[in-house]
Chains A and B, each alone.
Chain A
Amino acid sequence: MAKATPAAAPAISGAYQGLLTGSAGASQRLDLRVDVDARIDQGSVLNRVSGDIFRVEKVNVPGKPPKQAEVYQESWILEQPAVSASADAVTIKGVIRFWNAVHPKTSITIRIPRTPAGAAAEVTLLRQSTPPMVFHCAPAGLFFRSLRMEIDVCASVNHEPTLPTYGTHSLDERPPGVAERVLTLERSYGEAGIHVVLAADKKSVVDDSAITGWTDAELHNAMEQHFTQFKGTWPKWELWGLLAGTYEDDGVGGIMFDYAGVDSGPGKSPERQGFAVFRKHPWFDALVTEPKTQEQFEASRKFLWTFTHEAGHAFNLLHSWDKNRASSLSWMNYDWKYDALNGPGTYWKGFRFGFDDEELLHIRHGNRSSVIMGGDPWSSGGHAESPPGAEGLHMPPGAMVSVEGELPLEVVVRSQPYFEFLEPVSIEIRVRNLSAMPVAVSSTLHPEFGGVSVYVRRPDGRIVEYMPVSCKIAEDVLVTLSPAGAEDGTDRRSRTVFVAYGRYGFYFDEPGQYVVRVVYHGPGNLLIPSNTHRLRIGHPKSESADRMAQDFFSYESGAALYLGGSHSDFLDKGMDTLLSMIGEQRNSLAAAKTAARIAYGVGRPFHELAFDAGDDEANAVVRRKTSGDMPEAMRLTDVALKTFRQLAPKNEALNIPLERVVRARAEMLLRNGDNEQAQDEMLACAADLKKLGVKSSVTERMQRDARTIVTSKKKPARRPSKRRR
């Protein structure tokens, strides 16, 4: 699209912001971006309108003014706006498309009065069969999105210039007719429609005397120490840049170093929070504050390119060739890559100092979570960067919500980072009080009770909501978390949740990378999203594991696994498959975890509904089918224990499964009257866990529980605590 010249009538493009009015609700906010006419000098007009919807939460803290937090909900785009202008107003109409989830057809009408200056836009969203939602959005500037950027400088390169400046007519090697202006980092992004605010007052000098070549991990560590906005909730429109000396590979002039997992990245989620530019790279040898020679101007131009390019990666932009646009004249292309395809010197002769239209569409109007720093992982989620075939896929509502502002609770999801193929996947959900006041939370923390929703992004990019097989209806029992920082751990509560199998089958049945996120629905309509947690499912290690997959990933096996083992006739085949997997994959974690999961059910009594043929009609009766197969259950726990004990010294994620399987064994032993053995095994396990470095509160609790077991010399036995079950 051509660069537009501002029109004679005042342009109406830019950002608008306002609350929902009327009876349809009163606690939502809309960030609106109107991009239909030229308002930014040298900015392209993309002829799009887009919006982000937030829910406004008020959190009441006794004795203090209420705090306000906003929970991001979803984004949409209007791709074919019908614009009509009159003397009084500009009206825009069309049908919007939500980036996520399936929505009923939604029409939009936007009326922007021409007078008085600064009048609010009236935005009406109309969905089938629901009352219209009307937002009144006040103008919020000519830029579509706004970002605060903090640039720190290493001591070894702390001399001017530390930020880029380049006059577009400084060199003859330029596109014909390119507008003359002086470009800075702010102006480069300003022309792209993004308001970049440099936090100059926050600049700090980073001691790099011990570093000869920065690694990604060292850069990430420096960011954690120097970025004033690093702590707190993410995602947010904040970005850290470092002007450093040299990268570990001296061919690298800059890098967006904050990417997790993929390519052995240094960080964990959230990603895209920081970048670095390497001042000692040969590109910048001739860099001076007041360039005069061709070489000096080329260095200035490359300095600007590098800053803008690296920040572009933080907006989740890939290189041009990775988007099948190798001949794009964009900040995101390499000059030498372009020249290799199009002839020597052609990049700088054609490059007009901008992003291409697809990139502009992404950073101005893209799905918020795929653009905002700390949102979607790098190289995922963007409209141009979705995995092949994922573009048309939908995600459930609420999957990508995120928090802005202060909330009293932190929700964290975590697990071991790697699971073997066929290994049952469980996650830990933890809620922690961040406030100075006690906070009541739901005690269940399980999707079966509806208190949390679990979203899973599969390797193909599809996002699905984990749905449990059973839904449990129970009054929500609240527990009170102590104020933040309680040393005894009572400021938090966690629960391990089995998510391998649910209502729609197995959720982790393909090798590859998954991203898991939890949204906690707390008392008082509180909605808090967790971090995004990556985990990887490995490939089958043997032909037999690969062959077994067909039977293992079946309804019968999944249901038997979900139920923790079963004696139901209907699940016989599934139990046979699980038992043969345990036999064939012996010594693997997949077998150990499966054995541990089904052992308890195998050892328990099982009742079934049957019909007695009476004289006249059949009567439903509940019969005990079995009192439980205790020897088989103990054999299964033996299998699990052997592997857990062998691997636990190198895998701390096995500490909890180890404790749980010993508690399950103790319970079965007690049922069998073997109190001494139950006590011995629990005490031995407590000692093992202590050696493994498990917190003393956990080992002491296990010892306490073991000592409550009454052996033959004492009173009748009590069962050990069922904690963590």
Chain B
Amino acid sequence: MATLRVDFQDGFQDDEVVVSVDRVERVRRAGLTTKRVIGLAGHETIDVEPGKHTVLVSVPTRGFDTHIDVNVEDAAYVGVSIMAGGIAVIARGEPFGYG
């Protein structure tokens, strides 16, 4: 098994978020609000099979959604932010880190 960590970063304000991996809903969280002092609202860790996956993120409270393809070997890290007019998603192979 490999892990996919999804960090909910900037712009959340009492929002609901749904994360689906390969069209299967894996995470649904409500009431997410960003702590502006660290730029983080929370995170979820999802177990996945190693390999390439399509991660779909939607924010029903804003009517936004987007997707990103992520190649997960041991671990992958996805950061989700709400920007003006949509969702920004970035993926990387190491943890983000906040301060």
Interface string of A307-348 (1 = CB under 8 A from B): 001100100001101100000000000101000100000000
CB pair B36–A262 under 8 Å, yes or no, is yes
The yes or no answer to A43 lying at the interface (CB within 8 A) is no
CB pair A336–B99 under 8 Å, yes or no, is no
The yes or no answer to A255 lying at the interface (CB within 8 A) is yes
Question: Which chain A positions have C-beta within 8 A of B42?
Answer: 249
Question: Which chain A positions have C-beta within 8 A of B97?
Answer: 251-253, 281-283, 334, 336
CB pair A249–B43 under 8 Å, yes or no, is yes
Interface string of A256-275 (1 = CB under 8 A from B): 11010011100000000000
CB pair B96–A251 under 8 Å, yes or no, is yes
Query: Could you tell me the distance between the alpha carbons of A340 and B78 in the complex, rounded to whole angstroms?
Result: 12
CB pair B36–A379 under 8 Å, yes or no, is yes
CB pair A255–B38 under 8 Å, yes or no, is yes
Question: Which chain B positions have C-beta within 8 A of A249?
Answer: 40, 42-43, 98
Query: Could you tell me the distance between the alpha carbons of A262 and B42 in the complex, rounded to whole angstroms?
Result: 16
Interface string of A232-258 (1 = CB under 8 A from B): 000000000000000001011111110
Number of A-B contacts (CB under 8 A): 63
CB pair B39–A319 under 8 Å, yes or no, is yes
The yes or no answer to A188 lying at the interface (CB within 8 A) is no
The yes or no answer to A367 lying at the interface (CB within 8 A) is no
Give the contacts of B37-54 with A (CB-CB under 8 A): 37-40, 42-43
CB pair B37–A378 under 8 Å, yes or no, is yes
Query: Could you tell me the distance between the alpha carbons of A252 and B9 in the complex, rounded to whole angstroms?
Result: 12
The yes or no answer to A306 lying at the interface (CB within 8 A) is yes
CB pair B38–A282 under 8 Å, yes or no, is no
CB pair B96–A252 under 8 Å, yes or no, is no
Query: Could you tell me the distance between the alpha carbons of A306 and B39 in the complex, rounded to whole angstroms?
Result: 14
Q: Which residue of A has the minimal Cβ distance to B10?
A: A321
Q: Which residue of A has the minimal Cβ distance to B41?
A: A263
Chain B contact residues, majority secondary structure:
loop
Question: Which chain A positions have C-beta within 8 A of B43?
Answer: 249, 251
Question: Which chain B positions have C-beta within 8 A of A256?
Answer: 37
Question: Which chain B positions have C-beta within 8 A of A251?
Answer: 7, 40, 43, 95-98
Question: Which chain A positions have C-beta within 8 A of B7?
Answer: 251
Query: Could you tell me the distance between the alpha carbons of A253 and B95 in the complex, rounded to whole angstroms?
Result: 11
CB pair B39–A334 under 8 Å, yes or no, is yes
Query: Could you tell me the distance between the alpha carbons of A310 and B98 in the complex, rounded to whole angstroms?
Result: 10
Residue in A263, A281, A283, A340 whose CB lies within 8 Å of B37: A263
The yes or no answer to B90 lying at the interface (CB within 8 A) is yes
Give the contacts of B15-55 with A (CB-CB under 8 A): 33-40, 42-43
Question: Which chain A positions have C-beta within 8 A of B90?
Answer: 340
Query: Could you tell me the distance between the alpha carbons of A588 and B34 in the complex, rounded to whole angstroms?
Result: 31
CB pair A263–B35 under 8 Å, yes or no, is yes
CB pair A252–B98 under 8 Å, yes or no, is yes
Nearest chain B CB to A332 CB, angstrom units:
10
A263-B36 in contact given A321-B10, A336-B92, A340-B90 (Cβ < 8 Å): yes
Among B39, B95, B98, find the residue whose CB has the most chain A CB atoms closer than 10 A: B98
Q: Which residue of B has the minimal Cβ distance to A263?
A: B35
Nearest chain A CB to B86 CB, angstrom units:
16
Interface string of B67-99 (1 = CB under 8 A from A): 000000000000000000000001010011111
Among B38, B42, B95, find the residue whose CB has the most chain A CB atoms closer than 10 A: B38
Query: Could you tell me the distance between the alpha carbons of A282 and B35 in the complex, rounded to whole angstroms?
Result: 21
Question: Which chain B positions have C-beta within 8 A of A340?
Answer: 90
Nearest chain B CB to A618 CB, angstrom units:
63
CB pair B99–A263 under 8 Å, yes or no, is no
Question: Which chain B positions have C-beta within 8 A of A257?
Answer: 37
CB pair A252–B10 under 8 Å, yes or no, is no
Among B35, B90, B98, B99, find the residue whose CB has the most chain A CB atoms closer than 10 A: B99
Q: Which residue of A has the minimal Cβ distance to B7?
A: A251
Question: Which chain B positions have C-beta within 8 A of A378?
Answer: 37
CB pair B36–A318 under 8 Å, yes or no, is yes
Among A255, A282, A306, find the residue whose CB has the most chain B CB atoms closer than 10 A: A255
Q: Which residue of B has the minimal Cβ distance to A254?
A: B99
Residue in A263, A305, A310 whose CB lies within 8 Å of B33: A263
Question: Which chain A positions have C-beta within 8 A of B39?
Answer: 319, 321-322, 334
Question: Which chain A positions have C-beta within 8 A of B99?
Answer: 252-255, 305-306, 309-310, 334
Nearest chain A CB to B10 CB, angstrom units:
7
Question: Which chain B positions have C-beta within 8 A of A321?
Answer: 10, 39
Question: Which chain B positions have C-beta within 8 A of A255?
Answer: 37-38, 99
Query: Could you tell me the distance between the alpha carbons of A306 and B97 in the complex, rounded to whole angstroms?
Result: 11
Query: Could you tell me the distance between the alpha carbons of A305 and B98 in the complex, rounded to whole angstroms?
Result: 12
Query: Could you tell me the distance between the alpha carbons of A252 and B95 in the complex, rounded to whole angstroms?
Result: 10
Query: Could you tell me the distance between the alpha carbons of A256 and B37 in the complex, rounded to whole angstroms?
Result: 7
Query: Could you tell me the distance between the alpha carbons of A319 and B33 in the complex, rounded to whole angstroms?
Result: 17
Which A residues are closer than 8 A to B by beta carbons? 249, 251-257, 259, 262-264, 281-283, 305-306, 309-310, 313, 318-319, 321-322, 334, 336, 340, 378-379
The 9 nearest A-B residue pairs measured at CB? A254-B99, A252-B98, A263-B35, A253-B99, A340-B90, A309-B99, A306-B99, A253-B97, A256-B37
Q: What are 12 A-B interface contacts by the 8 Å CB criterion?
A: A249-B40, A249-B43, A251-B95, A252-B99, A253-B98, A255-B38, A263-B33, A263-B35, A283-B97, A305-B99, A334-B97, A340-B90
List 9 additional contacts besides A249-B42, A263-B37; criterion CB under 8 Å.
Answer: A252-B40, A264-B35, A305-B99, A322-B10, A334-B39, A334-B99, A336-B97, A378-B37, A379-B37
